[in-house]
Amino acid sequence: MSQVQKITLLVGAAIVAILIGSCLFIVTERDQIVITQWGRPVRVISGARDEEERQAIRKEIEEMNRQSGLDVDVRFGAGLAFKIPFLQQATRFDNRLLEYESDPRPITTGDKRTLIVDNFARWRITNPLRFMQNVRTEQEAQTRLDDIIYSVIRRELGRRDYQAIIRTSNRILERELEVPLSDTVTPIEGGREEIMKEVTRQCQPLARQFGVLVIDVRIQRVELPEENIQKIYDRMQSERQRIAMKYEEQGKAEQTKIKAETDKQVRIMQADAYRKARVMEGEGEAEALKIYARGFIETDPETKETRQILGYQSDPEFYEFLRSLEALKKAADEQTTFVLTTRNHLFSRMESFE
């Protein structure tokens, strides 16, 4: 084979490869394809996930064919697809969930409060033909979605109070029980969860005209304007101080109550102890009188000798004399001077000793 033939063969193989590459293309699970011929759509390969969604897309494209006079064929699923080279073009769109985030913007609530709100949404291209005809690119679709979602959110939040926007239910948190309910929490109907469901519901028919399904819309962040934040902090601080003062007053009241109860118990215990002491003292004196009356045996601590002490009952006169001597023994010493009347019992005893 000559050199010219080899070159001709290589050129022909390259041309065939280019033609085959122009005719065949791969549709993956994440693709949706619109094939156009001279700019006019002729076929749609959709990545619809279930039969219900496929039937809805087929019905919608058939309706578009009747209205615009097109003859667009609809196919589903991934795999190898064919198009006429150089005459037809394949435009790919994503079949996966897409996300959109908005910039923070001011919104006025139903109770005339200004909030800075930014939101995000999850959406998906469900009709690639309508999507290509109306918006063409994802960037353009997000711009349209931004207008739709912001207008709906602004309208819905404008109908709701501040409490309903920042809360999801009427559940009372533990820290909110520290202060009266009327001062902190206003009962709401629905809350943020219900608001976002309503926003999503209203956005879906508006986005469907672009071939887009809005799956979920959520508020990502809600903030007060910068000039109001310091006022809120001051209010929070004063509220915490009021709660602290309430706890301090409750503590002082409890302290007074405990102290008064303790003092009361101490006085009761002291009075009871004093009563018992007086009773025991009286019983002891009574027992001592009984012992002195009947007599007792006394032991000398030094000599260990014992002696019988007669009581008043055995010999009253002797007992009286003995007790008088004991009284004199305890009261008298060499430096003691007695000043007694002649009628005093001790005087008669001392006089008898002279």
| Beta partners for residue 219, in sequence order | 119
The last residue of a domain, from among 178, 202, 223: 223
Q: What is the pLDDT of residues 61-117, one digit of tens each?
A: 888 888 888 889 888 888 888 888 878 888 999 988 999 898 888 888 888 888 889
**In a shared domain, residues 326 and 246:** no
pLDDT confidence of residue 287: 80
**In a shared domain, residues 205 and 254:** no
**In a shared domain, residues 234 and 282:** yes
Backbone angles phi, psi at 343, to 5 degrees: -85, -10
CATH of the domain at 125: 3.30.479.30
Which of 124, 101, 107 is CA-nearest to residue 195?
A: 107
Instruction: Print the domain residue range for 270.
Output: 230-290
**In a shared domain, residues 137 and 180:** yes
Give 213's pLDDT tier (boundaries 50, 70, 90): very high
The last residue of a domain, from among 68, 94, 120: 94
The last residue of a domain, from among 186, 205, 223: 223
**In a shared domain, residues 181 and 155:** yes
CA angle 201, 147, 140 (to 5 degrees): 110
Tokens of 26: 């791969």
| Beta partners for residue 29, in sequence order | none
**In a shared domain, residues 149 and 239:** no
**In a shared domain, residues 47 and 103:** no
Q: What is the mean pLDDT of the chain?
A: 80
Contact (Cβ atoms closer than 8 angstroms) between residue 139 and residue 161: no
Burial 146-155 (b: 16+ CB within 10 A, else e): bebbbebbee
pLDDT confidence of residue 43: 92
Residue that is written with structure tokens 């913007």 in the block:
105
**Least confident window among 84-93, 215-224, 230-239, 260-269:** 230-239
Q: What is the pLDDT of residues 282-316, one digit of tens each?
A: 888 888 777 767 766 777 777 777 766 666 666 66
Burial class (CB in 10 A: 0-12, 13-18, 19+), 307: exposed
Amino acid identity of residue 11, one-letter, is V
**In a shared domain, residues 144 and 255:** no
**In a shared domain, residues 197 and 241:** no
Whole-structure pTM over 0.75, yes or no? no
Strands 212-223, 114-125: parallel, antiparallel or unpaired by DSSP? antiparallel
Work out how many domains the chain is built from and give that number. 4
Q: How far apart are CA 326 and CA 339, in angstroms?
A: 18
**In a shared domain, residues 85 and 185:** no
**In a shared domain, residues 29 and 83:** yes
Burial class (CB in 10 A: 0-12, 13-18, 19+), 267: exposed
pLDDT at 179 over 60: no
**In a shared domain, residues 10 and 68:** yes
pLDDT confidence of residue 309: 66
Total number of residues shown for the chain = 354
Which of 27, 16, 17, 21 is CA-nearest to residue 80?
A: 27
